[in-house]
Amino acid sequence: MSNSFKKAMEEAKPMRQNGQKPDKKGDVKPAKAEHQPATTARDRWLRATKDVASATGLRQKIGDANSLLDDPESVRQFATIVGELDVLAVYKLSLEVLPGGKPVHSSERDVEEAWLAMSWDDQEARLAKWPEAGKLLEAFHFWKNQEENAFAQDSLCNVVGRFYRPLRHVNAFGGLKNFLEEAVTEGLLTKVSRPDPRQKSEFGVYVPGQDDRGPILYLPRKGVKLAAAGWIFVKETEARALGTQSALDELRAKETPGITPVKISNGFKGCMFVQLGATQAVLLESNKQSGWPTVRVTDSVNMRPDQIPDDETEWDERLHKPRGNGKWAWIAKGIEEWKNRRSALKRTQRQEANDRTLPLTKLATFSTHFDDQGLTQMLKGEPGVMAMWVDHFKWGKEEPKKEAFFGAAIERRPDGTFFLLEVVSRHPFPIKKLIGSQLPLDVDKEKPDVRLQQIAIRDGAVYAGLKMVEVLMRLRLHAETPAEDPYDQDNVTDKVDEVQKNSA
């Protein structure tokens, strides 16, 4: 054996002992990890026992956190402490100034927004610097860190951050509805747009709807602990909103019917309700001093004494609002906003009325103006199509009857028969198959008058649908009567009551 071969074998021996072998190039590759001996059954049992104990402790902490959320008093107590700390923080931060003496924040609202934008840890760090926060901060730490349960900490902070803080300054239904709609979008709450009035929910929150659509019902979503725990703050906000609404309604009831800024400019004496924002309002009393209209505040809602003018001021007859600066300027701004809202509402109502009546008017061949007596002409024998409607049509078995829009387009054909061409109704129209069918009407050409032919009440939906059309036609006839003022809405309303009472 050559010396060189022996030398190579000697060099390879330690590599083989280490589990290494040179490759073709002579480089040494790392050895594979040695196989670990299998753990014993006892080792596996100890590890499993430790895992079970850890999981059991985790479940216990989650259970404790859920129990804490199920206790309204605990949640409310923690929220109260946070609220007191927030008040202190806003006060302290509002005192901070820049090197030049300028305040860091321009308003209290800016201060509060900046404070709430901080994380909980940053808020605690700031509070720790203020001696005044001592006792409150101790109480805060007790609740937040009790038993060092991270789940309880997160649960309490989430409820306060998502429900208590956003709602504590809300005192009106407008703000409450905005909050509830956001919570519905996030999956925290559910809502019922047309709740059954016979199944009143004391647990839910009812927010007034628009127009005649009725209230909207909101409820916490089942199984969502955060929503269930925060619901106490929703109910408290509802109570405040109801109180605000009741106070505003009570003040509004003192307003003189029919009073407007223009009438005050023309010397009308009375009281006018002016709302200033969502929760505040004043009652102005108009008078005349030396030939000039004047106003003064006689009552208010949610107004501080320093916000209410204690003098009497002149009324601007051209701009239709009070003269003056300061407190009166604020009230004048409220009147301007009232006029803008009223104008916008009228535009909206006109547009909605046009949208509602368009399916009827596009079929009409007679004029819809009262003084043109289109239905009177049709009943006297002239063929064509008449469109008619009542904005506040009263119908229903309950008292008072529900008022809603109801209209129809009716055709008289040359042979004297009448057909129902179209119906537009906010009332539930009992039977849609009547549309397009012949109407069983008896017509008195001399008066003129129209009556429904004898229909058995047991026919149910057919009878109700035909009766609605008959009442509508007779209301239109009364409005076209020359002895009546067709533009007197009160007179038309009286006729609605009279005709429906006689037609019941």
- 377-403 pLDDT, tens digit per residue, is 999 999 999 999 998 898 887 778 888
Residue 195 vs residue 34, higher pLDDT: 195
Task: Compute the average pLDDT of residues 159-176.
Answer: 94
Structural domains of the chain, count: 4
Residue 373 domain-assigned? yes
Residues 465, 426: one domain?
A: yes
Residue type, 400: P
Residue 475 vs residue 12, higher pLDDT: 475
Q: Which two tokens stand for residue 159?
A: 């409820």
Task: Compute the average pLDDT of residues 199-204.
Answer: 80
Binning pLDDT at 50, 70 and 90, where does residue 69 land? confident
Residue 111 domain-assigned? yes
Residue 291 domain-assigned? yes
Residue 32 domain-assigned? no
Residue 120 domain-assigned? yes
**pLDDT tens-place string over residues 97-142:** 777 667 777 788 888 888 989 998 899 899 999 988 888 888 887 7
Given a cut of 70, whether residue 489 has pLDDT beyond it is: no
Cβ atoms within 10 Å of 459's Cβ, excluding its own: 12
Residue 8 vs residue 316, higher pLDDT: 316
Residue 427 domain-assigned? yes
**pLDDT tens-place string over residues 182-197:** 999 999 999 988 887 7
The last residue of a domain, from among 229, 251, 273: 251
Binning pLDDT at 50, 70 and 90, where does residue 63 land? low
- Give the pLDDT of residue 211: 56
Residue 224 domain-assigned? yes
Given a cut of 80, whether residue 433 has pLDDT beyond it is: yes
Binning pLDDT at 50, 70 and 90, where does residue 6 land? very low
Residues 376, 498: one domain?
A: yes
Residues 137, 217: one domain?
A: no
Residue with tokens 């204690």: 310
- Give the pLDDT of residue 55: 46
- Give the pLDDT of residue 186: 94
Residues 392, 265: one domain?
A: no
pTM, two decimal places: 0.63
The last residue of a domain, from among 165, 183, 211: 165
Mean pLDDT of the chain: 81
- Its domain, for residue 482, covers 362-503
Residues 407, 475: one domain?
A: yes
Residues 243, 265: one domain?
A: no
Query: How far apart, in Å, are the Cα atoms of 49 and each of 2, 52, 57, 358?
Result: 63, 5, 12, 76
Residues 154, 71: one domain?
A: yes
Residues 383, 402: one domain?
A: yes
